[in-house]
Amino acid sequence: MMNPVSRARRLARGVAYGAPALLLVVALVGVDFWPFSAYRLFSTVRSDATSSQRLVVSYGDGTEQAVSCVDHPVLRETMRFVPRLPDVDARTRDVMLGTWFADCNIDGADVVRVRIDKVDRAVDPVTHVTTETALTTVWNEVL
Amino acid sequence: MSHLVRATLSLAGWLGRRFDAAVVAPGRPGPVVLLRVALALIIALRLLAHDWSLVAERPAELTSHLWILGWLPGLSPSVLVAIQVVGLAGVALVVIRRAPRAGLVLSWLSLLVLAGLWGASGKFHHNDLLLLTATFPVLFARAPDRSNRPAAGDVAGDMAGDGDGTARAITWGWTPRAALAVVGCVYFLTGLQKLRHSGLTWVFSDNMSWVLLQGADSSPVSPELVRALAETPVLPQLLAGGALALELGAPLLLCWRPTRLAFAGAVTAMHLSIWVCLGLDYSPWWLTVWAVTLATGVPTGWAAVRDRIVLRRAARTGPRAGPGAGAATGSGPESTLDVPVAHG
């Protein structure tokens, strides 16, 4: 039977060496699985160009609105799921759109079409004004 | 050649044994008590930072499954608030020193669950990660009893009086050191990933200028100031180089007591500058660094003052001494007044 000192030292080594080793392995494998992280904070090089996807709704009268108005502290970040819309089933898509529409005060009954635009932007190095340099529709769906 | 290899292996073995001996060396209770209370208070700040019940308004279809709880059915607002209350109760147990170990476990689990659920919205949140990771080793630290001896049933055999009236125990020695190692490891990894994914281009290109220009509008202080910084020649490269050097040097800077406070100060400046320039709040990170640093790296004179304060309070409010405590020499609250220095 292990004596208390050996047991204490074993626990000490297990945690003191094991925890940093585990952090290192997870980071090198590149896994982000809470509460483990690859710690890729600002790790890519930025340039003057950025790109994002934008959800746009069209109404029956021909007007359009970008769904960028979500203000809910938790739901705001779910807009990162927009690129998934083309791949999900109809029920999931309705739940996703319904959640965002509700927070943006958009009446889903008035919406006839939704689409996702890929927007390329560039920051002018002199004026610091951001301009859209390219717009590509990557998904277009009639509701 | 074989002599050189043998000598190198011998030196490596000797260094390894020295390092291992330092890791498992017994320590005084002061640093553990201070570290546990400080981490618990930071956890309390984080538990009070959000209305966690808002998580219940997110449908499962918009929840990422980045961890086990992401697969569970949605929790109701009352359950989320109950988890928050349990976490805060755990913090209270730590602060009043009634079952502090269990209290820290409760508060840690509470923040682990709530922060994980909050962040399961498509973007991995790092804000609470250093706090949760650095607290993990401290969960194993046994509570000292009222006379600052290992509590009843603790590893009495690893306890050693050191002639100054203060007991030492292995459990009190390695836990702050492991927290320190975790903090150093996390910062090192953030630097390593920059090198891995971008190389030195991360420092010597216009990278930092674009980071500042693209984030300027989020600055809570002055977007104009941020743009001016981005346009100042060489400054963005200096900021990037300083940040990378600080992150990669974290294990070494935290290894030596004299540089720990400097590291904490530099890290605080870095995170505050990120907040000023980009509006990103990493206060749990630098608060955690200060908690670990103050528990393990303060200069000798201040350490004595710290331990007197912490242990005197512990002697007043701590749990009663267990049966094993009386066997130690110099027991009793008054002995804590003579704690000279805790060397973490």
Task: Tell me how close the Cα of A128 comes to any Cα of chain B, in angstroms.
Answer: 7
Q: Do B59 and A38 touch (CB under 8 A)?
A: no
Task: Tell me how close the Cα of A55 comes to any Cα of chain B, in angstroms.
Answer: 15
Report which of residues B137 and B318 the model is more confident about: B137
Task: Pick the most confident of A75-84, B68-77, B266-275.
Answer: B266-275
Q: Please state the rounded mean pLDDT for residues B7-32.
A: 91
Closest CA to A38 of B193, B289, B247: B193
Q: Compare CB distances from A128 to B54, B169, B213 and report the shortest one's residue.
A: B213
B118: closest chain A residue by CA: A74
DSSP sequence for B262-309: HHHHHHHHHHHHHHHHH----HHHHHHHHHHHHHH---HHHHHHHHHH
pLDDT of residue B147: 55
pLDDT for B317 beyond 70: no
Reading the block at residue B218, the tokens are 């989020």
pLDDT of residue A63: 94
Task: Tell me how close the Cα of B98 comes to any Cα of chain A, in angstroms.
Answer: 23
Report which of residues A50 and B324 the model is more confident about: A50
pLDDT of residue B108: 98
What is the pLDDT of chain B when averaged over all its residues?
A: 84
Report which of residues A6 and B331 the model is more confident about: A6
pLDDT digits (tens, 9 = 90+) for B107-134: 999 999 999 999 898 888 899 999 999 9
How many CB atoms lie under 10 A from the CB of residue A120? 14
Q: Do B193 and A41 touch (CB under 8 A)?
A: yes
pLDDT of residue B299: 67
pLDDT of residue B337: 26
What is the pLDDT of chain A when averaged over all its residues?
A: 92
Pairing between strand A49-59 and A130-142? unpaired
Total CB pairs under 8 A between chain A and B: 173
Reading the block at residue B137, the tokens are 């080793």
pLDDT of residue B171: 86
pTM: 0.86
Q: Is B281 on the interface with A (CB under 8 A)?
A: no
- Cα first-last separation, chain A: 70
pLDDT of residue B343: 35
pLDDT for B153 beyond 70: no
Q: Is A50 on the interface with B (CB under 8 A)?
A: yes
As a dihedral over the C-alpha atoms of residue B80, residue B81, residue B86, residue B89, rounded to 10 degrees, the angle is: 150
pLDDT digits (tens, 9 = 90+) for B187-228: 999 999 999 999 999 999 999 999 999 999 999 999 999 999
pLDDT of residue B315: 63
Q: Which residues of A touch B211 (CB under 8 A)?
A: 42, 46
Residue owning tokens 């970040």: A77
Pairing between strand A64-66 and A49-59? antiparallel
Closest CA to B326 of B211, B156, B139, B74: B156
Q: Compare CB distances from A4 to B156, B177, B216 and report the shortest one's residue.
A: B156
Sign of CA dihedral B274, B278, B279, B280: negative
Q: Tell me the one-letter amino acid at B79.
A: V
Task: Tell me how close the Cα of A95 comes to any Cα of chain B, in angstroms.
Answer: 7
Q: Compare CB distances from B121 to A41, A78, A128 and report the shortest one's residue.
A: A78
What is the Cα–Cα distance from B189 to B129, expressed in whole angstroms? 13
Query: Confidence class of residue B165 from pLDDT cuts 50, 70 and 90?
Result: low
Report the share of chain B in percent with pLDDT over 90: 65
Task: Tell me how close the Cα of A97 comes to any Cα of chain B, in angstroms.
Answer: 10
- Per-residue exposure over B37-70, b if at least 16 CB sit within 10 Å of its own CB, e if not: bbbbbbbbebbebbebbebbbbeebbbbebbebb
pLDDT for B322 beyond 60: no
What is the Cα–Cα distance from B252 to B266, expressed in whole angstroms? 14
Q: Is A127 on the interface with B (CB under 8 A)?
A: no
